[in-house]
């Protein structure tokens, strides 16, 4: 991978705090800083100014977009949820499991009891992959 591409990928990878904000926006859609901060405060204490500053930084980095056409600025996510999650999962599998999705799945299924519905979904995916 080229150094410029590595730098670009690193910029796109959200921090834990940024991911919390993204999760609120993915679940509720475009929102004000106040709304996001209120949702974050349902999980843990977060200062409004900290949320505001982080969302401004995320907008500057391009991970959020800001609609300034109204008195209250509305923020929305710039990248699709699946694209961000895929990037994070790929980096995680590469760094922790040396790129082996199989090892990740084995660890995951070994650590948590999968429901019958989960197992049926997994079998369905495996069947589709085998038919390719």
> For position 17, which CATH number holds?
1.10.10.10
Taking each continuous run of H as one helix and of E as one strand, the counts in the chain are: 7, 2
52 plus 96 within the same structural domain: no
How far the first Cα of the chain sits from its last, in Å, is: 28
38 plus 71 within the same structural domain: yes
30 plus 89 within the same structural domain: no
Note the pLDDT of residue 6.
Answer: 45
Of the residues 51, 77, 103, which one is the last residue of a structural domain?
77
Note the pLDDT of residue 71.
Answer: 85
Placement of tokens 């907008």 in the chain: 59
**Per-residue confidence in pLDDT tens, the chain, 132 aa:** 444 444 444 456 899 999 999 999 999 999 999 999 999 999 999 999 999 999 999 999 999 999 998 888 999 999 899 999 998 999 999 999 999 988 888 888 887 778 889 888 988 998 998 887
Note the pLDDT of residue 9.
Answer: 45
73 plus 33 within the same structural domain: yes
Closest to 56 in 3D by CA, of 33, 31, 79 = 33
């Amino acid at each position: 991978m080229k150094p410029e591409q590595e730098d670009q990928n690193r910029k796109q990878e959200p921090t834990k705090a940024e991911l919390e904000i993204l999760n609120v926006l993915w679940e509720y859609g475009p929102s004000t800083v106040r709304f996001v901060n209120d949702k974050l405060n349902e999980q843990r204490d977060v200062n409004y100014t900290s949320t505001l500053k982080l969302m401004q930084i995320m907008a500057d980095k391009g991970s959020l977009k800001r609609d300034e056409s109204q008195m209250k600025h509305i923020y929305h996510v710039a990248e699709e949820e699946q694209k961000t999650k895929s990037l994070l999962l790929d980096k995680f599998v590469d760094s922790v499991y040396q790129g082996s999705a199989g090892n990740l799945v084995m660890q995951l299924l070994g650590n948590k009891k999968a429901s019958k519905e989960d197992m049926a979904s997994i079998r369905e995916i495996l069947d589709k992959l085998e038919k390719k």
